[in-house]
Structure 1
Amino acid sequence: MVLKPEPTAPFHSVRYVLRVLETVSRHGGGVTAARIASESGLPAGHLAPLLAMLRREGYVEQATDGAYVIGDSLTLLGSGADRAQVLETRLQDTLAELRDAIGAAIYVSRYVDGEIKITQVSEGPLTPAVNEYVDFRTTAHASAIGKCLLTQLDHGSRKEHLARHKIARFTSRTITSERLLLSRLDGHPSTVPVLDLQEYAVGTVCAAVPLMAGSAVGCLALSLPLEHAHRLRAAAESLNRGAAPVALALTI
């Protein structure tokens, strides 16, 4: 299965989002979309959907005259409230909205000190998380999360990781050739979701996309039971589109 790059994929990197927010912040009385485009350097074709996302997430608001001002979400972060708690609540709310919209369990993972770490999981009665029957830290070669994180490392770092976590077969679909795995990672476009088609667990399919939040290596992922595999393409594309607000919540 091949997934075409989504036009929203560049927003996995939040650099444009932060430029827009900085521009709006500088103009306390409001700023037009045209002025935002001029000062932020954001391609005109991407500004409208980005502003729509920021409005939806509460980071900016649009006044009656059409100008944009800072929204309640940013105001709250700048207040005397517990910033860490506000950020965590904001992130969990964003993940829950994405979970319900896609109809899949959602995961945020980071590559920390040479290891895979699942930092957030959003699941529900109808969207259960994957049963971690084998420690995710040892499954980079077989999971969408692991492969997505490895694609963001250089070749040497990938080999070093695989030397510490030997490739093991979990299902008949698991790639057990290091050469084949590295070749596929080297050739994988950064804008295309990484898939796990029952490579980690029989009965489960997954997808993951990079989360470019600063210099950290991270990814956003989803899992679906095999009976919903026909939805994986659309779910992965929705995950791609939903990565920007998640990355923003992790960065601000």
Structure 2
Amino acid sequence: MTVTHPGPEQTSASALAKGLRVLEAVLTNHRLTDICATTGLSYGTVHRILAELVAGGWVVQDADRRYHPGPRQDGMASLRRPTAGGGLDPARRDLTPHLLRLRDATGLTVHLAAVRDGALVYVAKVEAPGSYLLGSYVGLGLELHATAIGKAYLATMAPERAVRLLTQRPVHARTRHTLISRARLLVDLSQIRERGWAFDNGENEEGIRCIGVALRGADGQVCGGVSVSGPDAALERPTIAAHARAVVRAGAAIGSALAASGPDPDGVSD
């Protein structure tokens, strides 16, 4: 009798299938024992897969050791939703040259984010040349109170509305620099409105600074934002103003491109 051993492709596919079964099970089952029962996989296999999914942001574990869909699942799902007329569609290639020019002008990593159901999610990322890597990725949801784009978005609102939006979400300290006081956040938002750009001073990721502006679509509504990010040394006080001007120029150019495209007749951007 000939015994056929699975090749590397079959083994890889089997591992992927198990991972997808666990990922799907977490949507409706939150205890480890229930996930094992639903998937039919062993305790050790499910525990190992969940550890990998948690590390990747696909699943989160709460204080009661229950598992829930993570921010990476939420972010990817949001990319599939229709975009309101005049909004940012991640498939729009006419915006890419603006992102590349901003990267080349500053030497920093560029992010483009879009508004999805009152939240923000990254829809494009252009890496800076160099050795440092940021933990961000397309599909990641942004912390409104701790990121430059998030704060620029909040600053476009009346203070009362910004406060209401912040109270709907947990405002926690991402780093030792994160502004978690409502009073300090409101002062920061007021300063952002005056100067026209937001600054994240290591508030979202330790050692990483960011400058961002909000973007408006063809309908005049805020539809997202654009930013540059880099290590503290690349965004020191002498260089912040110049980089901020570059971000503001890029934001204006992207806004013009969105306005020129006009609202989509079906309510979805190009």
| Alignment correspondent of 2:63 | none
Post-superposition offset of 1:183: 3.3
Q: Among 210, 216, 225, which residue is 2:221 paired with? A: 216
**Secondary structure of the structure 1 residue equivalent to 2:200:** strand
Post-superposition offset of 1:242: 2.2
- Whose Rg is larger? 2
**Secondary structure of the structure 1 residue equivalent to 2:212:** strand
The answer as to 2:243 corresponding to 1:226 is no
Distance 1:189 1:153 in 2: 10
Residue type at the aligned position of 2:227: A
**Secondary structure of the structure 2 residue equivalent to 1:130:** coil
**1:131–1:212 distance in 2 versus 1, CA, 3 Å:** same
The answer for unaligned runs of 5 or more in structure 1 is 1-83
Residue type at the aligned position of 1:220: V
| Alignment correspondent of 2:201 | 197
The answer on whether the counterparts of 1:198 and 1:205 sit within 8 Å (CA) in structure 2 is yes
**Secondary structure of the structure 1 residue equivalent to 2:216:** coil
| Alignment correspondent of 2:188 | 184
**Secondary structure of the structure 1 residue equivalent to 2:112:** strand
- Correspondences of 1:9-24 after superposition (within 5 Å): none
Distance 1:171 1:245 in 2: 32
| Alignment correspondent of 1:235 | 243
Residue type at the aligned position of 1:131: G
Residue type at the aligned position of 2:207: G
State percent identity of aligned pairs: 25
The answer on whether the counterparts of 2:213 and 2:227 sit within 8 Å (CA) in structure 1 is yes
The answer on whether the counterparts of 1:167 and 1:178 sit within 8 Å (CA) in structure 2 is no
Q: Among 249, 252, 258, which residue is 1:250 paired with? A: 258
**1:120–1:129 distance in 2 versus 1, CA, 3 Å:** farther
Q: Among 155, 161, 165, which residue is 2:165 paired with? A: 161
TM-score for both structures, normalised by structure 2 = 0.55
| Alignment correspondent of 1:106 | 110
The answer on whether the counterparts of 2:177 and 2:203 sit within 8 Å (CA) in structure 1 is yes
| Alignment correspondent of 2:12 | none
Moved runs in structure 1, 4+ residues, more than 6 A?
A: none
The answer on whether the counterparts of 2:110 and 2:128 sit within 8 Å (CA) in structure 1 is no
The answer on whether the counterparts of 1:107 and 1:120 sit within 8 Å (CA) in structure 2 is yes
Structure with bigger RCO (C-alpha 8 Å, 6+ apart): 1
Q: Among 86, 92, 96, which residue is 1:88 paired with? A: 92
**Secondary structure of the structure 2 residue equivalent to 1:188:** helix
Distance 1:89 1:194 in 2: 26
**Secondary structure of the structure 2 residue equivalent to 1:141:** coil
Tell me how large the CA RMSD over aligned residues is.
2.7
Distance 2:209 2:129 in 1: 18
